[in-house]
Amino acid sequence: MQRSNLLRAVSTGLALSAMIALPFAADGAAEATTLAAPTTPVSPATLTAPGGPGVTSTWTSGDKEGLGTSFAADPSTSKSHVWYTLGPGTMTEVFYPTADSPQVRDLQYIVADGSGYTSVEGTDTTQQVQLVDGQALEYRQVDTAKNGSYRITKTYATDPDRSSVLISTRFEQLTGAIALHLYVLYNPSLGNADADTGATAGGTLAASGSTAATDLRSSIGFSRLSTGYSGTASDGFSDLMANHTLTTLYDAASAPGNIVQTGEIPVGRDTSFTLSLGFGGTTTDAISVAAASDSAGFADRAAAYVAGWHGWFATLNAPPASVAGTPALLTQYDVALMTLRAHEDKTHPGAFVASLSTPWGQARTGAAPGYHAIWARDLYNTATALDAAGDHAAAVRALKYILNTQEVTTGTDAGLIPHNSMVNGASTGLTGIQFDEIADPAILADQLGVRDAATWAKIKLSADYLVAHGVNTPQERWEEQGGYSPATIAAEIAGLVSASSIALANGDTGRFGTYLATADNWQASVESWTVTHSGDIATAHYERINRTGAPDENQTITDGNGWLNLDARDEIDPSFLELTRLGIKPADDPVIVASVGVVDSILKVNTPSGPMWHRYSEDGYGEFADGTPFGGSSTGHSTGRAWPVLTGERGEYELESAQLARAAGDASSAATHTAAAKADLAAMAASANAGYMIPEQVWDTADAAGFTEGEATDSAAPLAWADAQFVRLAISISTPAVAGQPANVETPKSVAARYANLVTVTFVETASTTPGDYVYVVGDGPALGNWDTAKAIRLSPAGYPAWSVRVGLTGGTSAKFKFFTRGADGVVHWQLAPDTVKAVPSSGSVTFTGTF
C-alpha cells in the first residue's frame, strides 16, 4: 500500500481492505465483478447518526504543497481570519480564527458510479499542484484518476472580506458511459478536538465545536447530504467505499465526536462550481459567512485576494539580482516572502508561527500545537528576512510581539523569553529555556534601529537576565541539550553588544559598560569553553555542546531522541557558524576553518537537490529507514535527515569567506566562495516541492518508502526559518561588498565592528598539575576578566604539560596578565612570577608564554 493510502486509513480508522477501489477497464466499464445494486437512501430527515464519538483522529502530514490567506497591510484590521493548507490532492488543515488553531483536518472529493467503483481523490489520482500567480498565494490542484476516468481541477482563495475558503472546482468525466457521481468529504476538527456536532438541515453541511463552527455549501447545491462519525457505519466515507453510493443519509450527529460530513454534488460530464467553507463563532455566523462568499462568487473574491498580495509586492524592494534573472529562483523568492508574511496571526500582530503544519501529523493525535506556535528564534529569522526585503513594519511588529507578549517583565524571571508560546502568549507546555532566544530581541531591535525608551525598558530586562545567568544554557537551539553551546554563546554575545548600543542611546552608561565587558569576556572565552583538542577526531574543532565548559573532558551526551550516547568531543554540529554569521569570529579563523572541514566529513550529504547538512552526529529526529514517522515504532532507530536551512547558513559562511578573500586580493578564491553560495541558494530552491514550499528536512538516501532523495520528508514544509534563510541569502549574494561592512544582511553591524580585526593571542603555560586541576589566565581589560578569577579563561591541557588557549585581543594595545591553577576545591594557586606585560601587535597573531 502506498504511504498516502496508509495515511488515509490511519486518519479514518478504516480497515485497509476498504481502501481498494475497482479500476475502470479501457471502455470505462467497471472491471469484472458482481455487486449488489445500491440501496435506496433513507430519508435524511428521519435519522440521527449512530456510532459516536467515532475513531480517534490524527492530523495530516507536515509536508504541505501550498497554503494561503488573505493579505492585510495591517493585520489587526483584517476581516479574514482563515488560513488553508494543501496536501497531495486535498485541502488539509484550515486555521481559524488564529494561526495556531486548526479547525479542519481535510477536505477532498470522492467519485463513484453507484454500482461498482469508488475512487478517492487523495489516493487514487495522479496529482499536480500549480501556483496560479507568482505573486499571490493562489494555488490550483489538478487531480486525474489513475485509470483515466475523470479529472478534478480545484483553485483556492480566501475571501478578503470574511473568514471563508473558496474552492473553484471543475469536474470532468473523461471516459466511460456510466455516469459518475461526485461527493465532497469534509472532516472538521473544531476546537482542535474530536468533539464536534453536525447537521445537514438547510441544504448545507453545518458543524459546531467548542470554539468555532463551519458551514460548507456548493454554488450549485447538494443533491444528498449526510453527517456521521468517522470510522463507523454512519461515516459517509465508509458507506461510499463499501456501497459506491450513499445508502443511508444521516441528518445530524448530535453527540460530540469525530464527525465526517458528506455531500453529493449534482454534476454532468463537465461541470464547474464553487465550494464555500465559512467559519464563525456560531453556526449562524458560519452560515452567514459561507452564504455571503457564495453570493459574491469565486471570480470576484479571487480577484480581490490576488490584488491584496500584488499590492504588497508594490511596497517591497526590487528582487535581488541573484534571483531576478532566473524565473524559477524568482518565483521561489517571491513565494518564500509570501509564505513568511502568511504565517503572521491577525488577532495578535507580530505573532508569526514557525509553520502552519504538524510534523508527522498523520501519526499525531490530540491537540498538540505542532509548529503552529511562536519561537523567538524563528520569529527573529522571519523578521530579519522581511526587513531585508523591505517590509520593515512587519519586522517591528515581530519585535514588539516578543517584548510585549512573550517576555516575562516581573519577578525573578524578569527578562526571560519562554521556550515558545501560542499566539496569545499562553504556554504550549514546553518549558526548556534557550538563552539564544533571550538574546534575539536585542539583536533584532539593534538591527531594526528601534531604540525608543519603551523598547529599551524591555531590552534591558533580557540583557540583564543574560548577564545574571551566564552562558550555560538549559537548552541549545536544537532544544535537546543543555550546557556550553558555541551557537548559543554567539547569540548571547551578539545580544549584549546590541543591547549596549541601545543602552547608550538611552543614556544608560552603566549598563552600556557592563554589557560590553561581559560580551568581550565571553567572546575571549568561547574557544576555551567549546573547542576540543582531544577525542576520536584528531582536528581541534568546535563541539556541539558540553556540560561544564571543559571541552577536552570525556563527557557523555545522551541524544535527546534517545538512541545513542556520544562522547561530547565527538558530537559535531554546524551551528558554531553562528559565531561568524553574528560577527564574533572571522570566517578564516583557523579553528573555524578546521571545524568546517570536520563538519563536512561527517554531516554533509550531496543530494540530487545539492549539498545538505545534518544537524549533528547521530541525530534521531526524523523517519525510520522504512518511512515510519518519528516517534513511531519500527525496526532500528529513527534518523534525523538533512536540513536545507543549514545549506543556507553555509551559503552565508561562503559569502563571509569571499569577502575576506576579496580584501586579501585573492579574486580567484573570492569567486569560488561566491559560486558556492549561489550553489547553496539553488540547492535550497531545488529542495522545495511543486508548490515552492521549502521543507525542514529532506530525504537524504536513495529513494525509499515513498520519499525522493533531496526532497521533503513528512516533518514540515514549509518551515518559516528555511524560507527566511533563503530570502536573506538571496539578498546577501546580491548586496555589493563594502569594505568593513558585514557580508550578510542580518549580521549585526555593531557586533561585527566590535570584533573586527582582533589579534589572535595564544597563551601557553607549562605546568605540571594534579588530576582535576586546570590552568587559567586572567588579566586587565574585559576580555581577560579584569583580574576577576571567576571570569578567567581556562587553558586546554591537550599538549600537557604545555597548556594553551587562543584569545582575541585588540591590536596595538598591551596586555597585563597572570596564570594560576584551580582545582575542584576552588582554591587558587597563583604563578609566583610577577604580572606579565606584553605588547599586542596591531595585526596578525602572537604567542605569550609562561612557566610555573
Element (H, E) at 532: strand 531-532
Q: 112: helix, coil or strand?
A: strand
pLDDT of residue 560: 74
Mean pLDDT to the nearest integer, 513-525: 98
Mean pLDDT computed over 783-809: 97
Q: Measured between alpha carbons, how far is 116 from 100 in angstroms, rounded to an integer?
A: 42
CA distances from 135 to 78, 86, 158, 311, 734 (A): 19, 18, 15, 10, 21
Q: Which helix (H) or strand (E) holds 296?
A: helix 283-296
325 pLDDT tier (thresholds 50, 70, 90)? very high
pLDDT at residue number 192: 85
Model confidence pLDDT, tens digit, residues 349-389: 999 999 999 999 999 887 767 999 999 999 999 999 999 99
Other CB atoms within 10 A of residue 690 CB: 13
**Per-residue CA distances from 116 to 176, 235, 241, 529 (Å):** 13, 19, 10, 70
User: Considering the chain, what is the average pLDDT of its residues?
Assistant: 93
Residue 13 has pLDDT above 90, yes or no: no
As a whole number, mean pLDDT of residues 121-146 equals 98
Average pLDDT over residues 214-234: 97
Residue 849 has pLDDT above 90, yes or no: yes
Q: Is the peptide bond before 801 cis (omega within 30 degrees of 0)?
A: yes
User: pLDDT at residue 5 above 70?
Assistant: no
| Structure confidence at residue 456 (pLDDT) | 98
Question: What is the Cα–Cα distance from 577 to 582, expressed in whole angstroms?
Answer: 9
476 is catalytic: yes
Entry pTM: 0.94
Contact 794, 776 (CB under 8 A): yes
The CA-based angle 9-11-16, given to 5 degrees, is 10
Which of these is catalytic: 172, 479, 553, 709?
479
Please identify which of the residues 65, 476, 480, 652 carries the catalytic annotation: 476
**CA angle, 680 then 588 then 781, to 5°:** 130
Cα atoms found within 13 Å of the Cα of residue 551, Cβ hemisphere only? 30
Question: Could you please report the per-residue DSSP string of 133-201?
Answer: ETTEEEEEEEEEETTSSEEEEEEEEE-TTSSEEEEEEEEEE-S-SSPPEEEEEEEE-TTSSS-EEEE-G
How far is it between the farthest Cα atoms of the chain?
103
Please give the backbone phi and psi of residue 678, each rounded to the nearest 5 degrees, phi first.
-65, -35
User: CA-CA distance, 421 to 178, in Å (whole number)?
Assistant: 54
- Sign of the Cα torsion 552, 558, 560, 562 reads positive
State what percent of residues in the chain have pLDDT above 90.
89
- The predicted structure's pLDDT at residue 828: 95
Question: How confident is the model over 208-234, as a mean pLDDT?
Answer: 97
Whether residue 53 is preceded by a cis peptide bond, meaning omega within 30 degrees of 0, is yes
- The number of beta carbons lying within 10 Å of the beta carbon of residue 187 is 25
C-alpha 428/C-alpha 613 separation (Å) is 29
Is residue 272 within 8 Å of residue 169, measured between CB atoms?
yes
Output the pLDDT for position 562.
Answer: 61
**pLDDT of amino acid 736:** 84
* Predicted pLDDT at 561: 76
Q: What is the mean pLDDT of residues 201-228?
A: 96
pLDDT above 70: residue 77: yes
Per-residue DSSP letters for 222-245? Answer: -SEEEEEETTSTT-HHHHHHHHSS
pLDDT average, residue stretch 67-90: 98
- How far does Cα 521 stand from its chain's mean position? 33
pLDDT over 80 at 548, yes or no: yes
Q: Is the per-residue pLDDT at 38 higher than 70?
A: no
264 is catalytic: no
- Asked if residue 546 has pLDDT above 90, the reply is yes
How do residues 714-749 score in pLDDT, each as one tens digit? 999 999 999 999 999 999 999 987 877 899 999 999
Q: Which helix (H) or strand (E) holds 777?
A: strand 774-779
| pLDDT score of 52 more than 60 | yes
pLDDT for the residue numbered 42 = 46
Contacts 24+ apart (CB under 8 A), 810-814: 810/758, 810/759, 810/783, 810/840, 811/757, 811/758, 811/759, 811/840, 811/841, 811/842, 811/843, 812/840, 812/841, 812/842, 813/781, 813/839, 813/840, 814/838, 814/839, 814/840
Q: Is the peptide bond before 256 cis (omega within 30 degrees of 0)?
A: no
The closest alpha carbon to 583, from 659, 669, 638, belongs to: 659
pLDDT at 30: 31
pLDDT tens per residue across span 826-844? 999 999 888 999 999 999 9
pLDDT at 262: 98
Q: What pLDDT is recorded for position 44? A: 42
- Quick count: other Cβ atoms within 10 Å of Cβ 412? 9
Residues 837 and 752 sit within 8 Å (Cβ to Cβ): no
The per-residue b/e assignment along 734-755, b for 16 or more CB within 10 angstroms, e otherwise, is ebeeeeeebbbbbbbebbbebb
Percent of the chain with pLDDT over 70: 94
Amino acid at 303: A
Residue 24 has pLDDT above 60, yes or no: no
Model pLDDT, residue 832? 83
The pLDDT score that the predictor gives to residue 46 is 60
Residue 165 pLDDT level (bands cut at 50, 70, 90): very high
